[in-house]
């Protein structure tokens, strides 16, 4: 399984990542992998993201970041940036369905059939994401 945490459909970098993962998904499937993308957005926003990009994998809502918290990925956007985000239409409490400015660090995990994490990538710099080639290589190495 490939698990990808993203900040939300409002994030341009996340949208690029979702498209890139979508293009690489057939290669992941060749190794028996399922891809799941997860964000703190409401189910309606998650569905809208999946439909807008015609994604062929599951896009799930992590209500209140409960799963992301278990992975240690959640942080609160600093107070000084919140007005700027709102100015650009990124009202996170509205997208996420509750009054919080918490979002996950973008991260990708490849989880083996035994439940162990065989590859991980997380970076607080939201402009850096896991490379599909690295994900596919982790899947290839784990199946051989």
36: helix, strand or coil: strand
The answer to whether residue 94 scores a pLDDT higher than 90 is: yes
**For 9-25, what is each residue's pLDDT tens digit?**
999 999 999 999 999 99
**For 113-126, what is each residue's pLDDT tens digit?**
999 999 999 999 99
pLDDT at 98: 94
**For 56-75, what is each residue's pLDDT tens digit?**
999 999 999 999 999 999 99
pLDDT bracket for residue 131 (50, 70, 90): very high
* Residue 3 token pair: 């698990």
Mean pLDDT of the chain: 96
CATH number 3.90.180.10 is the correct assignment for the domain at 2-143: no
The Cα–Cα gap between 44 and 109 comes to 25
The Cα–Cα gap between 144 and 129 comes to 25
Residue ranges per domain, the chain?
A: 2-143
The Cα–Cα gap between 32 and 8 comes to 27
């Amino acid at each position: 399984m490939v698990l990808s945490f993203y900040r939300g459909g409002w994030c341009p970098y996340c949208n690029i990542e979702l498209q890139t993962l979508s293009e690489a998904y057939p290669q992941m499937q060749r190794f028996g992998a399922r891809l799941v993308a997860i964000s703190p957005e409401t189910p309606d926003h998650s569905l809208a993201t999946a439909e807008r990009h015609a994604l062929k994998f599951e896009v799930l809502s992590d209500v209140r970041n409960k799963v992301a918290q278990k992975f240690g990925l959640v942080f609160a956007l600093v107070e000084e940036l919140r007005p700027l985000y709102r100015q650009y239409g990124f009202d996170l409490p509205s997208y996420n369905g509750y009054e919080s400015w918490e979002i996950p660090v973008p991260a990708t995990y490849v989880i083996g059939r035994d439940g162990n994490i065989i590859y991980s990538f997380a970076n607080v710099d939201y402009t850096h994401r896991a490379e599909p080639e690295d994900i596919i290589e982790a899947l290839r190495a784990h199946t051989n």
